[in-house]
Amino acid sequence: MEFTLFTFVDAWATACRIGIDKVHSPSFQLSSFCPPKDMSSIKTFSPRSKRDNTIVEKRIVFNGADLSSLKAAAHVNVNNSGSLKYEPSRVQVVTAFIWRALIKASQARHGCLRPSYLTHIVDMRRRTALPIPGNMCGNFGTMSIAQFIPGDDSTVQLHDVVNRIHEEMSSTFSECAKVSNGDDIISIVTNRMLKMKEIFETTEILGRTAPSILPPTFSKFMSIR
């Protein structure tokens, strides 16, 4: 839905600025790749939350120097279990920084580390083996669900949190690359939505974030129980 909205707004702005003949017309052929199917099993689920109706919104701005510092910090492993074998993205380090803060806040509140989950909504356009145009409108995404389950060896260093996010996103991208037909699309989306449904119904949702460095096709929220 976000992709469709931003595609429309971008096309509208382009038409107003330089003319409608410069607009790249959107495609509405999603149903030809993924025909409608009964997905009633994941139709309805409600977040479990103990919060009242008070909503506090804050905008956090990370400049270039902040992002460079976070990337450098992500390479520091105080537990000496190995350095990062990749260069983390801006999305990964900023998300890890905020997620780690929520995990530590929950620990301070409850006196112990608690299970935590973080999701990215992943745009599947150009990530599958299907010839899907990049300008195709419609809900064509799945979820990348990173987990933090406390154990004897649990750590919440930035290095480790970045790794959890990176590994889950890489796994999701690999799974998307294997999609070759509509049934594969339904399978990956259904499985991850059912997992998300279980998390929503058993987990207290403490925070939602939307860093401005994310492209329009990504959004995220964090939950700790």
The predicted-structure confidence for 30-66, as pLDDT tens digits, reads as follows: 888 877 777 776 665 555 555 556 777 777 888 889 8
The string of pLDDT tens digits covering residues 168-201 is 999 999 999 998 888 888 888 888 888 887 877 7
Residue 182: φ, ψ to 5°: -65, -35
What's the pLDDT score for residue 216?
A: 41
Per-residue pLDDT at 174 = 92
Domains detected in the chain: 2-52+59-224 (3.30.559)
Non-local (6+) Cβ contacts of 168 within 8 A are: 144, 145, 146, 147
Q: Which among 202, 206, 208 is positioned nearest to 45, based on CA atoms?
A: 202
Question: Quick check: 217 and 123 in contact, CB under 8 A?
Answer: yes
Work out whether strand 207-209 and strand 220-224 pair parallel, antiparallel, or are unpaired.
antiparallel
Q: What are phi and psi of 207, to 5 degrees?
A: -160, 155
| Alpha helices (H) in 19-111, listed in sequence order | 30-33, 64-74, 90-110
pLDDT at 25 over 70: yes
CB atoms inside a 10 Å sphere around CB 212: 9
CA distance 166 to 160: 10
Q: Which residues contact 2 (CB under 8 A, 6 or more apart)?
A: 121, 216, 217, 219
CA angle 28, 124, 90 (to 5 degrees): 125
Given a contact cutoff of 8 angstroms between Cβ atoms, the answer to whether 192 and 145 are in contact is: yes
Report helix, strand and coil shares of the chain as percent, to nearest 5: 45, 10, 45
Contacts of 85 (CB under 8 A, 6+ apart): none
Quote the mean pLDDT of the chain: 77
Quote the CA–CA distance of 157 and 103 in Å, as a whole number.
11
Least confident of 12-26, 106-120, 148-162: 148-162
